[in-house]
Amino acid sequence: MDQMLTLTFMTAMLAAAFRFATPILLAALGEIFTERSGILNLGIEGVMLGGAFVGFYVMYVSGNMWLTFLAAIFAGLCMGGVLGFFYITLRANQVVVGILFSLMMVGLTSFLYRLLFHETMLGKQERLTQLPIPGLSQIPFLGEILFTQSPLTYLALLLAPVAHFLLYRTEFGLSVRAVGEHPRAADTLGVSVTRLRYLSVLIGCGAAAVGGVFFSLHFGQFLDEMLLGRGYIAVAIVIFGQWRPGRALLGAIIFGLVDAFALRLQALSITVPFQFLLMLPYVLTILALLISVRFRGDVGSPSGPHALMAPYER
């Protein structure tokens, strides 16, 4: 046990926590907008998987990091368009469409993988490398944890305050929140509920796809089961965060920490069966959800925006 208390162990674990938090944070920040507009997107798991696959393929073909991200975002927006069409235009049941979309993406990506790579199991590809920030990364302890990360981690951490500003300090955020709480009120003032909900779904899916890319680039390979429900965890983090970016950031870091902790414990030959350690982050998420309703944010009720999951008809 004393191995755990060393400084090296702690720094490594905290750095890993931020790494693991990255994709969940990206997806959760996007999902906050989607849900604030009144749409629960459980297809987020499928969108992340799709983003991971497209990113992996483009990276394999082009080797260009920028192109990879653009392609993933584009794929995310396409998937968002499809989902939005079901959620908003067809007013379909959001839970059913979302879950089925996620299940479908598992099949679609593994099919495309075999089609494009002819069933050969590829070796590891080029991976997302760390980009230490000059100067800041030299700070003892903190430098290694916060400033020796991949660009995506920096991006995710920066997007949290950006999302907060967008949601609370702009006309766009005001409209999104209104559409999710009282769409008819927004409609009577000439705010297009349909337009804002599409935009919010697109934001959510774009962000989730980037979160997905993190997986394939981080591991340098693509597996259809590589997400392990991280998309659903992002949805849980949104609830834990009571639909606020700041608290979602906290939730993602806590999840990352437990994830990192569970992984390290396995390496430390502890007598607990490793399956239990793998369960740890998920068990914690359920517990966190139970207590989160005690800390209400500005959303009307602990169950979310008032018009969440309610299709709008004039």
Partner 1 sequence: MSDTPYAVEMKEIVIRFPGVLANDHVNFTLKQGEIHALLGENGAGKSTLMNALAGLYRPTSGVIKVMGEAVQFHSPKDAIAKGIGMVHQHFMLVPTQTATENILLGLPEPRFHVDLKRFDEQILALQQQYGLFVDVKSKIWQLSVGEQQRVEILKTLYRGADILILDEPTAVLAPQEIDELMATLRSLVAQGKSIIFISHKLHEVEKVADRITVLRKGKVTAEGLPIQGLGKQQLAQMMVGRDVIFRVEKEAQPAGDVVLAVRDVQALNKKGTPALRGVSLDVRSGEILGIAGVAGNGQSELAECITGLRPCSGSIRIDGVELANAPPMRAIKAGVAHVPEDRTHVGSAPNLSITDNTIMKQYREAPIGNGVTINRGHARAFAGRLKEAYDILAPSVRTLARKLSGGNLQKVILAREISGQPRMLVAVQPTRGLDVGAIESIQRLLLQQRAAGAAVLLISEELEELFSLSDRIAVIFAGQIMGIVEAAAADIATIGLMMTGTRLEEIRQEKEAAT
The residues that touch partner 1, with contacts defined as CB under 8 A, are: 169-175, 177-178, 181-182, 184-191, 298-300, 306, 314
User: Which lies closer to partner 1 via its Cβ, residue 76 or residue 304?
Assistant: 304
Tell me how far, at minimum, the Cβ of 245 lies from partner 1, in Å: 16
User: Which lies closer to partner 1 via its Cβ, residue 170 or residue 266?
Assistant: 170
Tell me how far, at minimum, the Cβ of 305 lies from partner 1, in Å: 8
User: Which lies closer to partner 1 via its Cβ, residue 134 or residue 190?
Assistant: 190
DSSP state of 119: T
User: Which lies closer to partner 1 via its Cβ, residue 50 or residue 304?
Assistant: 304
Per DSSP, what are the bridge partners of residue 301?
304
Tell me how far, at minimum, the Cβ of 184 lies from partner 1, in Å: 6
Tell me how far, at minimum, the Cβ of 28 lies from partner 1, in Å: 20
Nearest to 29 by CA among 247, 289, 255, 288: 247
- 74: tokens are 């584009």
Per DSSP, what are the bridge partners of residue 304?
301
User: Which lies closer to partner 1 via its Cβ, residue 229 or residue 246?
Assistant: 246
User: Which lies closer to partner 1 via its Cβ, residue 114 or residue 296?
Assistant: 296
Tell me how far, at minimum, the Cβ of 311 lies from partner 1, in Å: 18
Cα separation of 214 and 195, whole Å? 29
String of DSSP letters for 55-110: HHHHHHHH--HHHHHHHHHHHHHHHHHHHHIIIIIS---HHHHHHHHHHHHHHHHH
Tell me how far, at minimum, the Cβ of 193 lies from partner 1, in Å: 11
Cα separation of 29 and 195, whole Å? 20
Tell me how far, at minimum, the Cβ of 190 lies from partner 1, in Å: 3
Contact call for residues 302 and 293 (beta carbons, < 8 A): yes
User: Which lies closer to partner 1 via its Cβ, residue 177 or residue 218?
Assistant: 177
Nearest to 233 by CA among 219, 254, 261, 203: 254
All residues at 6 or more sequence positions from 282 whose CB lies less than 8 Å from its CB, including other chains: 229, 233
Nearest to 228 by CA among 32, 17, 49: 49
User: Which lies closer to partner 1 via its Cβ, residue 144 or residue 181?
Assistant: 181
Tell me how far, at minimum, the Cβ of 56 lies from partner 1, in Å: 36
Burial class for 242, CB neighbours closer than 10 Å (0-12, 13-18, 19+): buried
How many C-beta atoms surround the C-beta of residue 10 within 10 A? 13
Tell me how far, at minimum, the Cβ of 285 lies from partner 1, in Å: 26
User: Which lies closer to partner 1 via its Cβ, residue 185 or residue 279?
Assistant: 185
Amino acid at 93: N
- 286: tokens are 């359920």
Cα torsion 236, 18, 51, 117: sign: negative
